[in-house]
Amino acid sequence: SLNLVTIGGSSKGAAADRRSPGELEALALDAGRRLEGAPAEEIAKWATDTFGARFCVTSSMADAVVAHVFSRVSPGVDVVFLDTGLHFPETLKVRDTVAATMNVNVRSIRPRMTVGQQDGEYGPRLFARNPDECCFLRKVEPLERALADYDAWATGLRRDESPTRANTPVVAFDPRKGKVKVNPIAAWTQAEVDRYISRWNVPVNELFKKGYGSIGCWPCTRRTKAGEDPRAGRWAMFEKTECGLHV
């Protein structure tokens, strides 16, 4: 499909048997209780042992910590990246470094429309007028399409990133998607992330060194000031702090 660029190997998402939503919910409930407090590696191992090829990691390529944890525990795992067409070059560089240096299969997923096609249909700079609609077209729908190949997916959400993420479970069933969401580093602090990055020399987005606290598409990301909430630089002109991927 033209909407899908596969880097570093072929997809293996569709082969294995599917589970019913009821089975997935029961699995998630049990694992969420059992794995709270477990090391990220143990959570990652549970996820890939349980879901096999019906599992992927999603990454915004702010850093590659979660992808790296999985590459050690489950080499060859699929890593899904939403290529909105509006990323900073520094972000695409992290994606390409991950694909080139880590034992994972990066799948770069594109929206149905190019930015130019979207400008034609919705008018230019939709992100400045209706960011929810822009995020739906360029992130939410592509993620749903990508996740159709999987029963479960992992994210790098952490409780200490923002108040909206303070109750992030390590494993939970997402009733809207009918899939299991795995957050292996939910309990990690920023200091633990930093330690992991330096211990394993994990690729990190160069924008962090240039004053950005949280990184998304370039039109909706600004630098943050010292002491400011890292996510304050996202959709700064709107009352919006989440793109809808994690609602």
Q: List the binding residues for [4Fe-4S] cluster.
A: 134-135, 217, 220
CB 16 within 8 A of CB 53: yes
The window from 62-70, 128-136, 190-198, 204-212 that contacts ligand SF4 (CB under 6 A) reads: 128-136
* Closer to ligand SF4 by Cβ: residue 72 or 129: 129
Minimum CB separation from ligand SF4 for residue 15, in Å?
31
- Site membership for ligand SF4, residue 243 (CB under 6 A): yes
- Site membership for ligand SF4, residue 61 (CB under 6 A): no
Residues 6 or more apart in contact with residue 35 via CB below 8 angstroms = 42, 43, 46, 170, 171
Q: Token digits for 164?
A: 């909206």
> What's the CA gap between 69 and 188, in Å, rounded?
13
- Site membership for ligand SF4, residue 110 (CB under 6 A): no
- Site membership for ligand SF4, residue 118 (CB under 6 A): no
Q: Which of 46, 174, 220, 233 is in the footprint of ligand SF4 by CB under 6 A?
A: 220
Minimum CB separation from ligand SF4 for residue 38, in Å?
33
The window from 3-11, 30-38, 89-97, 133-141 that contacts ligand SF4 (CB under 6 A) reads: 133-141
Minimum CB separation from ligand SF4 for residue 185, in Å?
22
The window from 31-39, 62-70, 131-139, 163-171 that contacts ligand SF4 (CB under 6 A) reads: 131-139
> What's the CA gap between 228 and 162, in Å, rounded?
11
Q: What's the chain's length in residues?
A: 247
Residues involved in catalysis: 243
Helix, strand, coil percent values for the chain (each to nearest 5): 45, 15, 40
Q: Token digits for 229?
A: 């909430």
CB 139 within 8 A of CB 234: no
Minimum CB separation from ligand SF4 for residue 80, in Å?
16
Q: φ, ψ for residue 217 (rounded to 5)?
A: -65, 150
Q: Token digits for 14?
A: 């569709």
Residues 6 or more apart in contact with residue 114 via CB below 8 angstroms = 85
In terms of Cα–Cα distance, which of 77, 26, 53, 102 is closest to 184? 77
- Site membership for ligand SF4, residue 155 (CB under 6 A): no
- Site membership for ligand SF4, residue 158 (CB under 6 A): no
- Site membership for ligand SF4, residue 233 (CB under 6 A): no
Applying CB under 6 A, which residues contact ligand SF4? Answer: 84, 86, 127, 131, 134-135, 138-139, 216-217, 219-220, 243
